[in-house]
Amino acid sequence: MKNKLLLVTLFAVSLFLLVGCGKSDPLEGTWKGLTDGESRNMQIETTFTFKGGEVEYKNEYGFNGKGTYEIKDDSVTIKLEIWNKEKVYKFDVKDDTLSLTATDKYSPSYSELKKQ
């Protein structure tokens, strides 16, 4: 009887640990694309790399920075050392495309960042 109880307990704990480890970061990876704009000369090629709460940002003009990010529901707060304040984006991931929509009127949005 004790052996069965021990086995059931071990199984339950193992299942709990596996489910907890199954949470994945929907943004993890490298994403590349253009800022939204009316014409190509108003768009900037940009790369975001997200991993474990850390983010790296690069654009075609050599503007680079590292920082942190935090996901809450469908929003991501990004804080880069090179930005004067953190920025909040609504995000959506569909297959290999990430959309980051700025929640303020001064930041660019990125509607088609492709996973690299």
Query: What domains, with CATH codes, occur in the chain?
Result: 25-115 (2.40.128.370)
Alpha carbons within 13 angstroms on the beta-carbon side of residue 44 total: 14
- From the number of C-beta atoms within 10 Å of its C-beta (0-12, 13-18, 19+), residue 60 rates as exposed
Would you say residue 36 has pLDDT above 70? yes
Q: Check if the beta carbon of residue 87 is closer than 8 Å to that of residue 78.
A: yes
Q: What is the mean pLDDT of residues 72-76?
A: 97
How far apart (Å, rounded) are the C-alpha atoms in residues 92 and 101?
9
Would you say residue 4 has pLDDT above 70? no
Query: Which alpha helices (DSSP H) does the chain contain, by range?
Result: 2-21
3-state secondary structure of 5: helix
Conformation bin of residue 61: beta by default, left when phi > 0, alpha when psi is -120 to 50: alpha
Would you say residue 79 has pLDDT above 70? yes
